[in-house]
Amino acid sequence: MRSSLLPGPIAAQPWRVIIPLTLLTFFGATVLYSAAGGSFEPFASSQLLRYGIFLLLALVMSYMPQELVRWAAFPVYGVVVLLLIGVETIGAIGGGSQRWLNIGPLVLQPSELMKPAIVLALAQFYHSLPPGLTGSWRALIPAGVLIAVPMGLVLMQPDLGTSLAIAFGGAVVMFLAGLPMKWFVGGGIAGLIAVPLAFFFGLEEYQQRRVTTFLDPESDPLGAGYHITQSKIAIGSGGLFGKGFGNGSQSHLNYLPEPHTDFVFATMAEEWGLLGGLAVLLIFGLVLRWGLTVARRAPDRFSGLLAGGMTATIFFYVAINLMMVMGLAPVVGIPLPWMSHGGSSMMTNMICIGTIMMVDRWNKSRRSSSLQ
């Protein structure tokens, strides 16, 4: 794989993912530039800066040895749970819900950190579980607790989208860990029964409304269905080639809610059309395929589960966000990775990417060492 034309350290970087991601982020910045009315401030410039910083951090992270990561898995998980409890406590004292902690100049959102942390903890858990116990309750109950605790804490915030993301990441790791298929089938059936119950008893009223208006957005075109309707109008009016850069009326005239964060895809699609949308989908496809490839090449159980779970977490962001803006899912506050303006999601996704890069590096070093 190594090209002799490039110096070693540069050639050693995972360009297969850095190039598409950078392209995607620059495209995202272009959209943000337009959404800000033709200005780098306040969205595009900070987005690019953040990407640069987090890419460097991800690259640094990718050099971490596997032993260290495995050793740190549970402590990291524990710290993030403590942070979640901390957020909850501060929120309760402050009277109202709060999702972030202010640590000096940094604004930290522990529920975001939990997404990679749960994958890490579960990967470590199944790695250390003797293979023979995979079909027993010992494979299920501790993992279930590991997922349920942060889910419950995040739900209390309340943040349905993030808690679903945590559950999804965890579930994918369990699935990849080889737990009996019938458990997933049973779980699916139980979920089908639980969803209506959760809807009526578990959700806040505003969350319930989001679901009902998702099912029939036109029923309330100026109220809660407004977001979905306007987003579909933005995407639909873009057509094949879009209205042209800077010409999106839906975003520029404020019809589109959150044109620079959750609905950035609609902002893009209005100006770049179906072609822009397909390009974005293609890049996400490349990135995710790379993630799964890394996972499948992983030499051991831990790294395979880790890379697979991280890929799934990124996938969850992308899929839910795109389904939301196209009217296929209810409005949940999940941004589109690398395109939506915002530090937290950039951080989470870059941690995921960094982790996959790390696994990729483990793969390569294993392969090269076995070759030697």
- Check residue 177 for interaction with another protein (CB under 8 A): yes
With contacts defined by CB under 8 A, name the span among 13-21, 64-72, 196-204, 287-295 that binds another protein.
287-295
With contacts defined by CB under 8 A, name the span among 14-22, 57-65, 300-308, 336-344 that binds another protein.
300-308
- Check residue 249 for interaction with another protein (CB under 8 A): yes
Q: What is the DSSP string of 132-181?
A: GGGGSHHHHHHHHHHHHHHHHHHHTTT-HHHHHHHHHHHHHHHHHTT--H
- Check residue 59 for interaction with another protein (CB under 8 A): no
Question: Left (φ > 0), alpha (ψ -120 to 50) or beta: where does 45 sit?
Answer: alpha
**What is the CA angle 370-14-68, rounded to 5?**
60
- Check residue 140 for interaction with another protein (CB under 8 A): no
Distance between CA 290 and CA 294 in Å, rounded? 6
- Check residue 113 for interaction with another protein (CB under 8 A): no
Question: Could you say which residues in the range 68-107 bind another protein, by CB under 8 A?
Answer: none
Question: Could you say which residues in the range 186-225 bind another protein, by CB under 8 A?
Answer: none
- Check residue 151 for interaction with another protein (CB under 8 A): no
- Check residue 255 for interaction with another protein (CB under 8 A): yes
| Chain CA centroid to CA 12, Å | 26
Distance between CA 348 and CA 168 in Å, rounded? 15
- Widest CA span of the chain, in angstroms? 67
Distance between CA 103 and CA 130 in Å, rounded? 40
- Check residue 364 for interaction with another protein (CB under 8 A): no
- Check residue 16 for interaction with another protein (CB under 8 A): no
Cα of first residue to Cα of last residue in the chain, in angstroms, is 15
**Which CB, 30 or 231, lies closer to another protein?**
231
Helix (H, G, I), strand (E, B) or coil at 41: coil
- The per-residue b/e assignment along 24-51, b for 16 or more CB within 10 angstroms, e otherwise, is bbebbbbbbbbbbeeeeeebbebbbebb
Contact with another protein (CB under 8 A) among 16, 50, 209, 301: 301
**Which CB, 283 or 351, lies closer to another protein?**
283
- Check residue 289 for interaction with another protein (CB under 8 A): yes
User: Which residues lie near another protein (CB under 8 A)?
Assistant: 131-135, 172, 175-178, 180, 230, 232-240, 249-250, 253-255, 269-270, 273-274, 277-278, 281, 284-285, 288-289, 292, 295-296, 301, 304-305, 308, 312, 315, 319, 322-323, 326-328
